[in-house]
Amino acid sequence: MSEKRDVLGALGLCAKAGKLSFGIPMICEALKNGGKNRPVLVVEASDTSDNSHKRIQDRCRFYGTEILRAEITGGELGAAVGKTTMLGAVGVTDAGLAALVRSKLLS
């Protein structure tokens, strides 16, 4: 349980720093456009639909971006980053913060 809290806390820090893309459509757009807002790491909620999962996974694979599926619901993910709605995924756009999130997810 503390691992989940650590991951959510790290994602909240990313949101406060302004280094997140929110939601699958925005992440796909950021991957396509590139630049400084291109995600380095994508964290996907565990309860995304099969179609959404395939869409984000295919995009990340095409653009060579790491994607991790977390044991976090869309509601928990949205709440952690200050949104009132469920989110299927968030994209971390800063390499240092991505390393922090990755370390929390893989610990």
DSSP 3-state assignment of 45?
Answer: coil
Alpha helix positions (H), 34-93: 50-63, 74-80
Answering whether pTM is above 0.75, one says yes
| Structure token pair of residue 20 | 């997140």
- Tell me which residue of 87, 66, 67 sits closest to 15, measured CA to CA: 87
Tens place of pLDDT per residue across the chain (107 aa): 578 899 999 999 999 999 999 999 999 999 999 888 899 999 999 999 999 999 999 999 999 999 999 999 999 999 999 999 999 999 999 999 999 999 998 87
CB 91 within 8 A of CB 11: no
CB 81 within 8 A of CB 11: yes
